[in-house]
Amino acid sequence: MSGKQHNGEHGHGKGSVRYGMVIDLDKCTGCMACAVACHQENNVSFLPDETDKTRNIAWMRMYYLENGRDYPEYRFAYLPRPCFHCDSPHHTPCTFVCPVNATQRDERTGIVNMIYPRCIGCRYCMVACPYHARCFNWWDPRWPEPMEEMLNPEVSTRMRGVIEKCTFCHHRLNRARDKARIEGRDPDGVEYTPACVEACPTGAIVFGNLMDPESEVARLSKDPRAFQISAKLKTYPKVYYLSSQPWVRKLSDKGL
Amino acid sequence: SWRPSPKRGHRAGVGTLCTMCGSACSVEVDLVDRQRAIYVRGSSLSPLNKGGLCALGASAVQFLYSPYRVRQPLRQTKKRGDRTGFKAISWKEAIGELGARLKKLYEEGKGHQVACLSGQRYTSLYELWSLFCGALGSSNLFAMPRETDGHSAVSQALFGHEGPFAFRLYRATGILNFGAEWADGWSSCAPMGRMYEEWVREVPGKGRTEIVHVSSRLSMSASKSNEWIPVKPGTEAALALGIAHVLIRENRVFRGVEEYEGYLNWIDSSGETRQGFRDYVLKEYSPDRVSGITGAPAAKIEELARWVASQPSPLVVWGSEGFGGPGFFHHEMAYVALNMLLGNFEDKGLCTFTPVTNSLKAAQGEESLAEERLDVAAGTSGLVGARSNSIYAFFEALAQGKGYPVDVLLVCEANPIYSMADAALVRDAWSKAGFTVAMTGFMDETALEADLILPTPVMLERWDDVTAVPGLPFALYGLSAPVINPLYDVKHPGDVVLQLAAMVGDETRRALPWKKYEDVLKAQVKFIADQGIGAVSDDKTDFSHLEPDKTPKKNYRNAADLLKKLKKGSLWYAPVASTSQFVKTETGKPRFFASVLENAGMGLEKPELLMPHFLALQSSGSEQEYPLLLVAYGVSYISSGYFPNSPLMMKNLWDFELKGNDGFIGVNPATAKELGLAEGMSVVVETPQGKARARVHLSPAVSPGLIAAVKGLGHWAYDEYLADKGLRVTELTEVQLDPVTALGVERVTRAKLVRA
């Protein structure tokens, strides 16, 4: 739970960039704009029945937190959950188990990627992820006519039989890096904004380089309100949460 | 190919204004090769949303490319409601038929037998409908019910100005909130999100804004507030009066309030002494009595009053007690009165009114031409008559065949058949209308029931504007320009109105002289530019700094320049409007009693009828037969109006709201135990209005004895991603007509649960 994790010491090559996120659960009012923006931006497919959460696909998924009390002491909160892009030593839980190197942790950015054409659909990574961040394409994705028109050309659609998950909108990072190169700036450590962060109307989601001590995301990750989900697993998520509610913080050890 | 490959191309953003609700959020639309819209993000050109967006706005392109869009005019050739009966016709045929019907009615002097229901309200399109109906001789123009409908009668009664009320939310240090579900869609979604960020931000010298939420169900807004005061359903107004009692008793009210008419005892026109608000509240709303009504402890009421009084800038806000739509006249008066006691209606106070920017005015003499509105003619209207947007009173008259027939019913971009409460009444009224026309972008429930469907373009394909944002304390104008060409053979409803006006007769041609709708908007922009006041927002504009005496520096040259800036999604705004500009009472001060009611002869025997007071719950059905109370509530991530949920919004539903196609009813665990119900069990929810199947969800957010269902599910139109999913709660809910305004007020409905 300390801020010491993101100094490149987890057996990774030393770099100066670890993209990460802080989500303020006090500020989150559960409008779900982040999820819609994410799924729109990343061509996430949808099904006629989206209610089976073990079969549907969501990169930004909402979790419902309750304080366990009765009326009128009952309180609830929402927890938006992207991929945590874990920073644990040598490998994240998901990349470690992949037999075909279809998912890797980018040493320069800390982003855990998916290479869809390599994926053989064994779903080991799905099992290994303690945060249920990975979804499997049980069916061919289908957009009813003419909805294919809204697909984003910067993100490939995924085929039946492969795993997919949040990428921290890394196509946006690539675009920002290209722009930096063209402008003669250093492409490493460029700033960019994932779709969920952009949409959030309460400013509850902050994104940036955790290793830049000047960044807001680094500052907030060391806030007394900051915590990680299931920190005891030592997966070192690069997504931190903030809450002033003791009951919310208490739930963080219970997993998702 | 077993997966689609998105067409390649250059991605670039274009600015415009989101018009899916009336909140005036600036957006940037990402286009590929300027042809395909793929993504919508919030833009900081509007200081309201400052780059944020809601789930509906983020879904804009899903509606643009939705399979359930109407692609050409359709004529029902079989029985109304038969899905197989729709035949594609040309625009010439469509407008020809409708125009001929209207022309005939107009020429026979039966123009009043045309009625129109608009989904928009604070837009030029609504003003255009108003001109058109007026010229036709009809006063039967309504907008879909909204929370601010209740404001106009109350503000007229107490201030001599027809609202809507406005609040300087960013100035408040403490907010006492009676059911304004600000985190669940009250007012607006993204701008309220930004406001919340302001409230909780720690700024040196300014503490966080504290919020106390009063309601019967624990909403997200209640959960996010500093304190939640649970009360019995529909008793929030009593609590407001209890707090007024303590403030008055402890002499902690704004000093100038004694100058407000009706605060102290007063003498009426016949020379009789009448009880003032002060004595009335001291006598009737003691904390003990209010505690009995609301269930909140008397000590808590005292504590709340002292908390309010201790705040440097306290503000009272209210919603319709969490139910959506307008509230009761006398309840709204109570919240306004509490703000008056706090001095909030003085200049520079936290409450004022929202000015509307509109240059489209009817020519003189047309009002006398129009016949009385149907609900007035039929005697179903309230005391304020046609000044109220009482669509339910209109539907009641129509359903009962009172007054005169309605030969043509036009619905413009609204879905009343699905989204209005008391669905049976709406259906009944609909069946009595002679010829029904749905102007809509989508094959929604109302379109399915129409005789003629006129397809409209959707946002991103069309022009629109915003003439006011109710709740904002200053004038504002925004334009939404098209960013791509319409995909189908559609026509802007504004252009349809103009074409109809050209066909019908001299009066309509004179009232609506424009060639196309775009010209109407240009006229509005020119009207603003000619006045030469106000400024255009950019990404540095901060509305929280606006003051009545601070004029923003004009930063546009002329009408053309203003138009250019507005087209990109910036907003034109004027300084904060001070209350005294609006107050039109004889004393120039607000008053505590409704003179409109006195004139109507009310309140002679019961003086409290003139004043803010609490109305006990009236609900049909007996407590023995229906021991529970049903509340239908809204949430920000489910759309229950003209737009349905987008496919990507459907992903976010909780599995206690929808599972497969099953909808849920929230029941307090203690209540469920008494009834022998467990999580997930199938039940039939029954009210005097109807019954529906649902599954039980045990929820401590719901008070014992209350059952709760979310609005916006249970559609039967659209496509397989939406239809037949969840509980259609509008089949179950009851609407009560307020005796003063005749507005349909949704409260709780008596209900019972039977195991299925």
Q: What is the pLDDT of residues B92-110, one digit of tens each?
A: 999 999 999 999 999 999 9
Q: Read off the tokens for B479.
A: 């334009």
CA angle A47, A53, A57 (to 5 degrees): 50
Residue type, B560: A
Residue A133: phi and psi, rounded to 5, are -80, -15
- Cα separation, B657 vs B683, in Å, equals 15
Mutation target vs B (from A36, A148, A223; most B CBs, 10 A cutoff): A36
Chain-centroid distance, C-alpha A7: 20
SS (H, E, C) B590-608: CECCCHHHHHCCCCCCCHH
Range of the domain at B650: 628-755
Predicted confidence (pLDDT) at residue B1 exceeds the cutoff of 80: no
Residue A11, pLDDT score: 58
One domain, residues B551 and B654? no
| Residue B214, strand partner residues | B178, B229
User: Minimal Cα distance from B671: which residue of A?
Assistant: A71
- Say if B623 falls within a structural domain: no
Contact between A20 and A208 under an 8 Å Cβ cutoff? The reply is yes
Domain CATH code at residue B651: 2.40.40.20
Residue A12, pLDDT score: 60
Q: What is the mean pLDDT of chain B?
A: 94
Do B721 and A198 make contact, defined as CB atoms within 8 angstroms? no
Q: Read off the tokens for B85.
A: 């009966």
Measured from the Cβ of residue B96, the count of other Cβ atoms closer than 10 Å reads: 13
Contact between B380 and B744 under an 8 Å Cβ cutoff? The reply is no
Beta pairing, strands A135-136 & A163-164? antiparallel
Contact between A104 and A12 under an 8 Å Cβ cutoff? The reply is no
Q: In sequence order, what are the residues at sequence separation of 6 or more whose Cβ sits closer than 8 angstroms to the Cβ of residue B188? A: B21, B22, B23, B25, B48, B469, B471
Predicted confidence (pLDDT) at residue B48 exceeds the cutoff of 60: yes
Predicted confidence (pLDDT) at residue B698 exceeds the cutoff of 60: yes
Mutation target vs B (from A26, A28, A29; most B CBs, 10 A cutoff): A29
Confidence of residue B272 (pLDDT cuts 50, 70, 90): confident
Cis peptide before A146 (omega within 30 of 0): yes
Predicted confidence (pLDDT) at residue B364 exceeds the cutoff of 70: no
| Residue B136, strand partner residues | none
- Say if B702 falls within a structural domain: yes
One domain, residues B519 and B653? no
Residue B220, pLDDT score: 97
Burial classification of residue B204, based on how many CB atoms lie within 10 Å of its CB (0-12 exposed, 13-18 middle, 19 or more buried):
exposed
One domain, residues B342 and B486? no
Continuous segment of H or E residues that includes residue B201: none
- Cα separation, A51 vs A42, in Å, equals 20
- Say if B585 falls within a structural domain: no
Q: Tally the domains of chain B.
A: 4
CA dist B306 → A18, B176, B200, B301, B314 (Å): 50, 12, 22, 9, 11
B266-270, B291-295, B618-622, range with the lowest pLDDT = B266-270
Contact between A232 and A221 under an 8 Å Cβ cutoff? The reply is no
- Say if B706 falls within a structural domain: yes
- Cα separation, B501 vs B559, in Å, equals 27
Q: Read off the tokens for B278.
A: 């002060």
* CA-based nearest distance B534→chain A, Å: 26
* CA-based nearest distance A12→chain B, Å: 35
One domain, residues B15 and B27? yes
Domain CATH code at residue B491: 3.40.50.740
In chain A, what residues touch B232 (CB-CB under 8 Å)? none
Beta pairing, strands B36-42 & B25-32? antiparallel
- Cα separation, B619 vs B630, in Å, equals 11
Q: In sequence order, what are the residues at sequence separation of 6 or more whose Cβ sits closer than 8 angstroms to the Cβ of residue B96? A: none
Domain CATH code at residue B52: 3.30.200.210
What ipTM is given for this predicted complex? 0.96
User: Minimal Cα distance from B649: which residue of A?
Assistant: A36
Do B6 and A151 make contact, defined as CB atoms within 8 angstroms? yes
Give first-to-last CA distance, chain B, whole Å: 46
One domain, residues B54 and B114? no
- The pLDDT of B30-53, averaged and rounded, is 96
Burial classification of residue A53, based on how many CB atoms lie within 10 Å of its CB (0-12 exposed, 13-18 middle, 19 or more buried):
middle
Do A53 and B658 make contact, defined as CB atoms within 8 angstroms? no
- Cα separation, B306 vs B659, in Å, equals 46
Predicted confidence (pLDDT) at residue B484 exceeds the cutoff of 50: yes
- The pLDDT of B162-185, averaged and rounded, is 94
In chain B, what residues touch A202 (CB-CB under 8 Å)? 52, 193-194, 196-197
- pLDDT, tens only, B442-451: 999 999 999 9
- Cα separation, B623 vs B666, in Å, equals 20
Mutation target vs B (from A28, A40, A47, A66; most B CBs, 10 A cutoff): A40
- Cα separation, B427 vs B417, in Å, equals 7
Q: How many residues does chain A have?
A: 256
Residue B31: phi and psi, rounded to 5, are -115, 145
User: Minimal Cα distance from A63: which residue of B?
Assistant: B654
Do B52 and A158 make contact, defined as CB atoms within 8 angstroms? no
- The pLDDT of B315-340, averaged and rounded, is 90
Do B218 and A64 make contact, defined as CB atoms within 8 angstroms? no
One domain, residues B58 and B84? no
Q: How many residues does chain B have?
A: 756
Contact between B698 and B707 under an 8 Å Cβ cutoff? The reply is no
Instruction: Give strand ranges (E) for B231-285.
Output: 266-267, 273-274
* CA-based nearest distance A113→chain B, Å: 20
Domain CATH code at residue B270: 3.40.228.10
Integer-rounded Cα radius of gyration of chain B: 25
Residue B747, pLDDT score: 84
Smallest Cβ–Cβ distance between A46 and the set B196, B648, B653 belongs to B648
- Cα separation, B510 vs A92, in Å, equals 73
Residue B324, pLDDT score: 73
* CA-based nearest distance B748→chain A, Å: 19
Q: In sequence order, what are the residues at sequence separation of 6 or more whose Cβ sits closer than 8 angstroms to the Cβ of residue B513? A: none
In chain A, what residues touch B484 (CB-CB under 8 Å)? none
- Cα separation, A188 vs A175, in Å, equals 12
- Cα separation, B297 vs B338, in Å, equals 20
Beta pairing, strands A103-105 & A112-114? antiparallel
User: Minimal Cα distance from A76: which residue of B?
Assistant: B223
- Cα separation, B460 vs B276, in Å, equals 54
- Cα separation, B332 vs B594, in Å, equals 12
- The pLDDT of B666-690, averaged and rounded, is 97
One domain, residues B633 and B727? yes
Of B718, B706, B44, B627, the residue nearest B321 (C-alpha): B706
- Cα separation, A33 vs A74, in Å, equals 25
One domain, residues B234 and B187? yes
Within chain A, which residues score under 50 in pLDDT?
A: 1-5, 7-8
B80-84, B271-275, B416-420, range with the lowest pLDDT = B271-275
One domain, residues B349 and B403? no
- Cα separation, A37 vs A35, in Å, equals 5
- pLDDT, tens only, B180-218: 999 999 989 999 999 999 999 877 777 899 999 999 999
Range of the domain at A120: 3-254
- Cα separation, B511 vs B522, in Å, equals 17
Residue A4, pLDDT score: 44
Of B301, B329, B355, at which residue does a domain stop? Answer: B355
- Say if B335 falls within a structural domain: yes
Residue B368, pLDDT score: 54
B314-328, B352-366, B404-418, B581-595, range with the lowest pLDDT = B352-366
A196-210, B249-263, B397-411, B584-598, range with the lowest pLDDT = B584-598
Beta pairing, strands B36-42 & B273-274? unpaired
Confidence of residue B602 (pLDDT cuts 50, 70, 90): low
A169-178, B32-41, B376-385, B502-511, range with the lowest pLDDT = B376-385
Residue B205, pLDDT score: 75
- Cα separation, A47 vs B71, in Å, equals 24
One domain, residues B239 and B286? yes
Mutation target vs A (from B461, B483, B651; most A CBs, 10 A cutoff): B651
- Cα separation, B231 vs B705, in Å, equals 12
Do B65 and A147 make contact, defined as CB atoms within 8 angstroms? yes
Measured from the Cβ of residue B32, the count of other Cβ atoms closer than 10 Å reads: 22
One domain, residues B325 and B441? no
DSSP of chain A: --GGGGTT-SSSPP-S--EEEEEETTT-----HHHHHHHHHTT----S----TTTS--SSEEEEEE--PPTTT--EEEEEE-------SSS-HHHHH-TT--EEE-TTT-PEEE-GGG-----HHHHH-TT---EE--S-----TTGGGG--TTS----TT-EE---SSHHHHHHHHHHHHHTT---TT-----HHHHH-TT--EEEEETT-TTSHHHHHHTSTTEE-TTGGG----SEEEE-S-HHHHHHGGG--
Q: Tally the domains of chain A.
A: 1
Question: What percentage of chain B has pLDDT greater than the value 90?
Answer: 87
One domain, residues B432 and B555? yes
Residue type, B72: Q
Domain CATH code at residue A80: 3.30.70.20
Residue A3, pLDDT score: 40
CA dist B547 → B203, B469, B537 (Å): 20, 17, 16
CA dist B99 → B95, B441, B488 (Å): 6, 20, 22
Of B54, B68, B65, B44, the residue nearest B19 (C-alpha): B54
Residue B369, pLDDT score: 60
